[in-house]
Amino acid sequence: MPDPELSATTRLFALVDVNNCYVSCERVFNPSLEGKPVVILSNNDGCAVARSAEVKTLGVKMGEPWFKLKDLAKQHGIIALSSNYALYGDMSNRIMTVLRDFSPDVEVYSIDESFLGLNGLGSLWDSPTAMGQSIRQRIRQWVGVPVCVGIGNSKTLAKLANHIAKKRPDFDSVCDLSSMTRQDRDALFSTIDVGEVWGIGRRLSEHLRASGIDTVAQLRDASPAWLRSRFGVVIERTVNELNGLSCLALEDVAPAKKQIIASRSFGQPVLTIDELGESVSNYMTRAAEKLRRQNGVCEAIQVFVQTNPFKASDRQYSNGVVVPLPNASCDTRLLIRAALFGLAQIYRPGYYYKKAGVILQGISGASGQQQSLFTTYGDGAASEAMMRTLDTLNQRFGKGAVSIASAGTRNDWAMKRERKTPDYTTSWDELPVARAN
């Protein structure tokens, strides 16, 4: 097999990743946090979702509940901040803008990570490493946060290089695997745990180790065919990528979401359907905004509720239901009604609810705003009739007991859906009386 790195179609990728992103963002606006142990907490200040280097050194894990950390925090003076996603999103946009100056091909992979396509840019720089250093310095200077840069012949290798740049101080925050000698790479790969590879999670690591594959080098040299038969096609692709055979393309335009989730845990347990309904309405409002932002409509919504699984002394209950819509829609009011209808079906009184959420499903893109408006309001007798039915029901049973499934024409998707879920209540006669009192 020819060395893919020498072929004419060799690709080159960089991965730029903000160090301890949320903490670094906070430090830009509050320099007194510099050098101190800082954690950023999730919704309701529940879990640590970002840790400064000082906190990582103390052994604090990602996702660790804050209440378990309180003693350690007191002991070491850990500063805990509630998360501020508006700030992080804004900082992220600034970084991505800087990156676009370096390459026309930028894939924003997450709030703190971007892939860059480097093909064709070689003549602009002494070396990929020189470019990486320039990226790093400019983001530090213009935005104020530290980043690491990993470079390789596939996205998986760029990710791995980034990991090395972060862990090994001698690389000075930039690691280029593509220019390294085979021996140097082997030496590195044989010291890195297989679980550090992008796409190899906890489960696969366990299985691989049981098969005698402990390091990146061993995974790279394992037989793709054997791995495929044993673990599936995803890992086969990963191994090819580790060998410098680029299988994952850069996606410079973000594909539209196929589903949109909005959910939250509650600070306090919630008992009544009215409170749940209020939350569900809020989530749906947010989800519908996201849907419209991508000019989409959805054909069904799902609503779910859950008690606190960590509280063993509580009676546990969790349930969800899919509500097909008579017409694909992005209309907030209609979607909220559908969600409340679903909620009425799954709500059971007497439980301490801790979490609820909605999922928009069957999303398709509208070709433009006009089409989605037509779909929603249109001349659709179905929609109109449905709304009237809902109003009648609301008057009769009170808020929350709303039916939408009996009105209008169903599309194919919804019909199939109905066939497969026989327990789905289609008639309002069958609606449970779901109010607590």
Residues that bind DNA (CB under 7 A): 42-44, 46-47, 49, 62-63, 65, 67, 109-113, 159, 197-205, 232-234, 255, 257-265, 269, 283, 290, 308, 310-311, 354-355, 357, 412-413, 416-417, 419-421
- Looking at the Cβ atoms of 110 and 223, the one nearer to DNA is 110
Give 89-125 as a DSSP string.
Answer: HHHHHHHHHHHHHH-S-EEEEETTEEEEE-TT-GGGS
Taking the complex as a whole, the smallest distance from the CB of residue 88 to DNA amounts, in Å, to 11
Taking the complex as a whole, the smallest distance from the CB of residue 9 to DNA amounts, in Å, to 22
Taking the complex as a whole, the smallest distance from the CB of residue 375 to DNA amounts, in Å, to 20
Taking the complex as a whole, the smallest distance from the CB of residue 183 to DNA amounts, in Å, to 27
Taking the complex as a whole, the smallest distance from the CB of residue 140 to DNA amounts, in Å, to 19
- Looking at the Cβ atoms of 51 and 159, the one nearer to DNA is 159
Give 64-78 as a DSSP string.
Answer: -BHHHHHHHHHHHT-
- Looking at the Cβ atoms of 202 and 396, the one nearer to DNA is 202
- Looking at the Cβ atoms of 133 and 294, the one nearer to DNA is 294
Q: Are 391 and 403 in contact (CB under 8 A)?
A: no
Exposure string for 93-117, b = 16+ CB within 10 A, e = fewer:
eebeebbeebbebbbbbebbbbbbb
Q: Which amino acid is at 352?
A: Y
- Looking at the Cβ atoms of 40 and 131, the one nearer to DNA is 40
Give 314-339 as a DSSP string.
Answer: SPP-EEEEEEEEEEEE--HHHHHHHH
Give me the sign of the Cα torsion angle 285, 287, 292, 297: negative
- Looking at the Cβ atoms of 42 and 134, the one nearer to DNA is 42
- Looking at the Cβ atoms of 322 and 344, the one nearer to DNA is 322
Taking the complex as a whole, the smallest distance from the CB of residue 347 to DNA amounts, in Å, to 19
Q: Which amino acid is at 422?
A: P
- Looking at the Cβ atoms of 124 and 234, the one nearer to DNA is 234
* Phi, psi dihedral angles at 88 (to 5 degrees): -65, -35
* Phi, psi dihedral angles at 365 (to 5 degrees): -80, 135
Taking the complex as a whole, the smallest distance from the CB of residue 83 to DNA amounts, in Å, to 9
Taking the complex as a whole, the smallest distance from the CB of residue 117 to DNA amounts, in Å, to 18
Kindly list the distances between the CA atom of residue 406 and the CA atoms of 325, 380, 424, in Å, as whole numbers in the listed order.
10, 15, 12
Taking the complex as a whole, the smallest distance from the CB of residue 291 to DNA amounts, in Å, to 9
What is the Cα–Cα distance from 358 to 337, expressed in whole angstroms?
Answer: 12
Q: Are 10 and 77 in contact (CB under 8 A)?
A: no
What is the Cα–Cα distance from 238 to 219, expressed in whole angstroms?
Answer: 9
Q: Are 148 and 168 in contact (CB under 8 A)?
A: no
Could you tell me which of 28, 183, 147 has the C-alpha nearest to residue 90?
28
List the beta bridge partners of residue 300.
324, 361
Taking the complex as a whole, the smallest distance from the CB of residue 405 to DNA amounts, in Å, to 15
Q: How far is CA 334 from the centre of its chain?
A: 26
Taking the complex as a whole, the smallest distance from the CB of residue 397 to DNA amounts, in Å, to 27
- Looking at the Cβ atoms of 42 and 285, the one nearer to DNA is 42
Q: Looking at residue 126, what DSSP letter applies?
A: S
Could you tell me which of 379, 372, 365, 373 has the C-alpha nearest to residue 409?
379
With tokens 């509500």, the residue in question is 323
- Looking at the Cβ atoms of 133 and 282, the one nearer to DNA is 282
